[in-house]
Structure formats: structure tokens, C-alpha cells
Amino acid sequence: MTSIHPAPTARPVPMAPVFSRREWERALLGSSDLFTSDRTVALVLAHLAEGSSRLPVGGPQTIGRLAALTRLPEKAIRAALARLQDRGWIDRPDIHTWTSRKIWPITLTMPPAPAASPTAADGAVRTEPAHPGRAAS
């Protein structure tokens, strides 16, 4: 006698969030950890990406072109790109593994949300002992 087994149900495949340039720019402009030059470079990158989240290998994102568009020195462009990458706003291949002589690809990314403070989550309040130079009142 053969038994009939129900067919396994397919699990839904999680979809990667769709990139929204508007949401990316809104988050960028609301960020307090970036310099003005970082925001300027980031907004030019978003403009060059034209609604996509990716600037391809050999694309228009040369240091010279970014300097011309932003009117910032090339040194400031390099520093801004490094800070944007360190803070999670853009992604680029590792400089030590990038062997192509072409311009690096750049992907615009949403940085991770800041972690909630442990004291904020449990309602604890920070207290400090009285200053040793003062008498308690």
C-alpha cells in the first residue's frame, strides 16, 4: 500500500529591499555624522546614478569629474568617499583586491540603523557619584 504525501509548500523567497533614491537622499540629509563635503559628494553620486543604486565599473565617478562637479579639491573628494564608505552610505571593492585599472564601481547603500542605547531600551537612568570636591547637601 502506498501512502500519499502532500507536496512540500514553497517558502517565499525574501526580496531585497528596493532602492529608493528619495529615501536614501532623505536619510543622507538627515544624518548628523557627515561633513558638508560628504553630503555634496554623495548627492552628486546619486545624481550620476540616475535613479539606480549603482555606478558601474568605468562609470562617470572619476575623482576629477567629482571634483569638477562639486568644486571641491580632489583630496577632499577622496576623503569624502572614504568617510561615506566607512559610514555605510556607499560600497566599493576593497582597494587591495581591485586589480582593474578602470574606475571602481560604487553602490549607494543605506547604512545600518544606529543601535538603540541599552539604557533607552530598559528605562535605566545614568547616575554618577557626587563630585569628591563638593560636600553633599
The answer to the question of residue 1 being in a domain is: no
> Which cell is 5 given?
504525501
Query: Which domain range does residue 25 map to?
Result: 21-110
Q: Reduced to 3 states, what is the DSSP secondary structure of residue 108? A: strand
Angle between helices 36-49 and 21-30 (to 10 degrees): 180
Residue 122 lies in a domain: no
Question: Is 121 inside a domain boundary?
Answer: no
C-alpha cell, 90: 556607499
Which tens digit of pLDDT belongs to each residue from 55-84?
A: 888 788 888 999 999 999 999 999 999 999
Average pLDDT of every residue of the chain: 79
pLDDT-flagged residues of the chain (< 50): 117, 120-121
Within-domain flag for 67: yes
pLDDT at 15: 56
**How many independent structural domains does the chain possess?**
1
Q: Say what the pTM is.
A: 0.68
Read off the DSSP letter of residue 130: P
CATH code at 81? 1.10.10.10
Q: What is the pLDDT of residue 10?
A: 62
